[in-house]
Amino acid sequence: MSRHAVGKGLRQRAVHLLALQYGAERSGPLSNVLFRGSTPTCFCEHCINRNKTQGIDVERAQTGFTNLLSLIRNAEAGKPNAADGMLTSVLRVLHRYPEVLSWDYQWFQADEEICAQVHRIAKNVRPEIDSGRHVDHQRSSWDIFYRSAMTYGEMAENADFVKPILYHDAMGTRLRWWVLERLKDRLLNELTLEQSLNLFYSTFGHDATKLPKLNELDSAGLGPEYVYRETLRCKQSVGDKAKVYTGIGIDVPWYVTNGMEPRPSNPEKLTAAVQRAFDAGADGVLASREYDEMRLSSLEAFGRGVRR
What are the residues binding Zn ion (CB under 5 A)? 42, 44, 46-47
CB of 46 to Zn ion, least distance (A): 5
Q: Whole-number minimum distance, CB 42 to Zn ion, in Å?
A: 3
Beta carbon of residue 199, minimum distance to Zn ion (angstroms, whole number): 32
User: For Zn ion, which is the closer residue by CB, 114 or 129?
Assistant: 114
Position with the least CB separation from Zn ion? 42
User: Which run of H or E residues covers position 277?
Assistant: helix 267-279
Q: Is residue 249 within 8 Å of residue 166, measured between CB atoms? A: yes
199-238 residues labelled b (16+ CB within 10 A) or e (exposed): ebbeeeebeeeebbebeebeebbbbbbbbbbbbbbbbebb
Q: What percent of the chain is helix, strand and coil (3-state, nearest 5)? A: 55, 10, 35
Q: What's the Cα-to-Cα distance from 210 to each of 69, 205, 221, 250, rounded to whole Å?
A: 36, 12, 12, 21
Contact between 268 and 169 under an 8 Å Cβ cutoff? The reply is no
Considering the complex, what minimum distance in angstroms separates the CB of residue 23 from Zn ion? 11
Q: Which is nearer to Zn ion, 10 or 42 (CB)?
A: 42
User: Which is closer to Zn ion, CB of 82 or CB of 114?
Assistant: 114
Residue whose CB is less far from Zn ion, 118 or 220: 118
Indicate the residue among 44 and 77 with the shorter CB distance to Zn ion.
Answer: 44
Kindly state the smallest distance separating residue 27's Cβ from Zn ion, in Å: 14
